[in-house]
Amino acid sequence: MNLRLALTFILLGALTAVAAVLAGGFLGWPALSMLLLGVGYARGDARVFGKQPDGTRAWYGTVVMAPYLIIVWLVWKILRWTRREDCCNEVLPGAFIGRRAGTAELPDRTELIVDLTAELWESPGVRQNRDYICLPILDGAAPTAAELIALITRLVNEKRILYIHCAEGHGRAAMTAVALMIARGQADSVDQAILLAKQKRPQIHLSRPQKALIEKTVRELRILAHQTTV
C-alpha cells in the first residue's frame, strides 16, 4: 500500500474524468486507468495490470490500462537511452539487480530471473531456458510480508546466478536484494544492507512502504530461524 501514490492517481483520475465530461468522452479512458491504478495503490493490489505468472499480461490489463502503460513505456525507453547507469550490478555474490533487461544485457550464466514489475511484461527471450519467478509489485509500493518472506525463503540458499529486476532496478529489486542480503548474513541491519547495496548501485531509492516491509520481513525471518533451532 502507498497512500500518497493512491491519492495522486485518484486525484488525477477524477480531474481527467471532469475534463472528459467537459471536453469529450475520449478522456474517459485515461480517467478510468488512473482511477483503477489509484485503487490498486490504496489496496496494495497489482492485479489491475493483469500480469501473469509467465510474465505476460492478460488482455484486459493491456486494454483498460493502455493510456497509463503507453506513458510508462515511453518514460522507461527515454530513461534507458539517457540515463548513464549500468543495466545491472552485482550487489551480493551471484545476485544481480537491475532494470528490465534484454537477453543480451543479462549477466553471464544467469539461470534464474526474478521479475518484480507489474506494469511491464517480460521479454520471452529473457525467460527462455531460464527459471522464472514473477511477483508483480506496483512501482514504489511493496508486496505483503508473506509474499516477500516466501520469495526470500526461496532465494536464500540459491546457488545459481540470479537476476532480480524491476523497471529501473532502484526500488522493488533493491528491496528484495536488501532483504536477501540480511537473510544470507551479509549485513546485520537494514540500514547497513542499504548502504552496501548503494555502493554497488548508487541510484537505489526505497520508498517508506518498502523499507518498512524489509524491517518487518527481517524480524519475522529471524523469529522463524529461532523457532527452527529451538
Per-residue pLDDT of the chain (230 residues; tens, 9 = 90+): 677 888 888 888 888 888 888 877 778 888 889 899 999 998 888 999 999 999 999 998 899 999 999 998 898 888 888 888 899 999 999 999 999 999 999 999 999 999 999 999 999 999 999 999 999 999 989 999 999 999 999 999 999 999 999 999 999 999 999 999 999 999 989 999 999 999 999 999 999 989 999 999 988 887 776 666 55
91 and 16 share one domain? no
Q: 28, 45, 78: which is the final residue of a domain? A: 78
C-alpha cell at 211: 523499507
Q: Which of 40, 57, 78 is the last residue of a domain?
A: 78
The count of domains in the chain is 2
Last-in-domain residue among 78, 97, 131: 78
Please indicate, yes or no, whether residues 42 and 63 belong to a single structural domain of this protein. Answer: yes
193 & 217 share domain = yes
Backbone φ and ψ for 29, nearest 5 degrees, come out as -65, -55
Based on the domain organization, do 131 and 151 belong to the same domain? yes
| 123 and 141 co-located in one domain | yes
213 shares a domain with 146: yes
pLDDT value for 84: 82
Q: What is the pTM for the complete model shown?
A: 0.89
How far is Cα 10 from Cα 29, in angstroms, rounded to an integer?
A: 14
Do 91 and 64 belong together in one domain?
Answer: no
Residue 3, H or E segment: helix 3-23
Domain co-membership, 74 together with 153: no
Q: How far apart are CA 60 and CA 151, in angstroms?
A: 27
55 and 159 in one domain?
A: no
CATH number of the domain residue 217 falls in = 3.90.190.10
Q: What is the largest CA-CA distance in the chain?
A: 67
**Range of the structural domain that residue 104 is part of:** 87-229
Residues 72 and 93 in one domain: no
